């Protein structure tokens, strides 16, 4: 049976992503982890077979913990990606009403995603940042009736809370992209994407020269993300997603050239593209 890891606690959108991916599996066992680090290390160490981890949100940006682990701490490959629409809700204890709310709790990202709703409905309310939307729901469940959490419908179920308002996020485009990691990446489907991470030499024009290689081979870049190299302020590593599979002739040749021109290179995997909501913006 396939052991499939996800980032707990139950009731977060990471569990929802895991269930969405598991819907296509015959037989699996879900394993809950407390941190992205432990989750990815367990795949590397063969304790679990695959893991579903968040990598990017359409409002809040990159999930740095995932990028940093993939770049330098674990040797695993991306075999699939999936997108989950994030819908935030106002969750309260059974006998709490709008007028009773004195303090709103959630993860800073969730608070940020509902900023306009909070400012219009609860001007001046106290905001308390906690480590996860599920932790906020748990605290509200044990609170005195003046608290509200921002979180998922699943969190309302898990902690027995009432949903006072649905879909309170600013805008309708709050989507988190997750990747499935394993010891091997995906097989070629003809509609694939590949991810690499690299650092360039410390001289002018070095990033430009790498993008020039993709331009030369007509390879579309869908994403570039920089992260600090961590050894010096002003030095970076770059995550790039390009269209194509590592077995495609052109991409194979381009990546071979990229490897020559960089000071650090790591291939993160080829995997089928998401079918919707994700277009090629760059070459």
Which residues contact its own copies by CB under 8 A?
56-61, 64-65, 83, 108, 112, 129-131, 171, 173, 175, 177, 200, 202-208, 211-212, 214-215, 220-228, 230-236, 277-283
Q: Which residues pair with 242 in a beta bridge?
A: 194, 221
Strands 61-62 and 50-57: antiparallel
- Beta carbon of residue 223, minimum distance to its own copies (angstroms, whole number): 7
Pairing of strands 192-199, 236-243: antiparallel
Nearest-angstrom CA–CA distance, 175 and 173:
6
CB of 131 to its own copies, least distance (A): 4
Across the strands, what pairs with 54?
A: 178
- Cβ-in-10-Å burial (0-12, 13-18, 19+) of 14 comes to buried
CA distance 4 to 260: 36
- Report in angstroms how near the CB of residue 113 gets to its own copies at its nearest: 10
Residue closer to its own copies (CB basis): 34 or 160: 34
For its own copies, the closer CB: 44 or 162? 44
> What minimum distance in Å lies between the beta carbon of 281 and its own copies?
5
Q: Which is nearer to its own copies, 85 or 146 (CB)?
A: 85
**Residue closer to its own copies, measured from CB, 46 or 232:** 232
CB of 149 to its own copies, least distance (A): 16
Distance in Å, CB of 134 to its own copies, minimum: 13
Q: Which is nearer to its own copies, 15 or 132 (CB)?
A: 132
Which of residues 112 and 145 has its CB atom nearest to its own copies in the complex?
112
* DSSP structure class, residue 10: T
Beta bridge partners of 33: 7
């Amino acid at each position: 049976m396939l052991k499939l890891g996800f980032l707990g606690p139950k009731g977060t959108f990471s569990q929802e992503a895991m269930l969405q991916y598991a819907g296509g599996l015959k037989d699996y066992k879900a394993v809950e982890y407390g941190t992205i680090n432990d989750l990815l290390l367990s795949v590397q160490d063969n304790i679990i077979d695959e893991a579903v981890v968040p990598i990017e949100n359409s409002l809040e940006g990159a999930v740095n913990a995932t990028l940093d682990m993939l770049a330098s701490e674990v040797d695993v490959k991306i075999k699939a990606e999936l997108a989950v629409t994030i819908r935030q809700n106002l969750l309260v204890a059974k006998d709490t009403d709008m007028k009773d709310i004195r303090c709103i709790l959630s993860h800073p990202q969730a608070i940020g995603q509902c900023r306009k709703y909070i400012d219009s409905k609860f001007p001046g309310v106290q905001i308390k940042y906690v480590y996860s939307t599920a932790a906020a729901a748990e605290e509200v469940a044990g609170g005195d009736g003046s608290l509200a959490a921002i979180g998922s419908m699943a969190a309302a179920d898990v902690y027995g809370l009432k949903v006072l308002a649905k879909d309170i996020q600013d805008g309708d485009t709050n989507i988190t992209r997750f990747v499935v990691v394993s010891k091997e990446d995906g097989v070629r489907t003809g509609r694939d994407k590949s991810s690499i991470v690299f650092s360039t030499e410390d001289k002018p024009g070095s990033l430009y020269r790498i993008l020039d290689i993709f331009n030369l081979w007509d390879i579309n870049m869908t994403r570039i993300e920089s992260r600090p190299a961590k050894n010096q302020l002003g030095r970076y590593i770059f995550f790039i997603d390009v269209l194509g599979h590592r077995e495609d002739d052109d991409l194979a040749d381009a990546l071979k050239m990229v490897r020559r021109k960089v000071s650090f290179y790591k291939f993160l995997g080829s995997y089928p593209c998401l079918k919707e909501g994700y277009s090629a913006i760059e070459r």
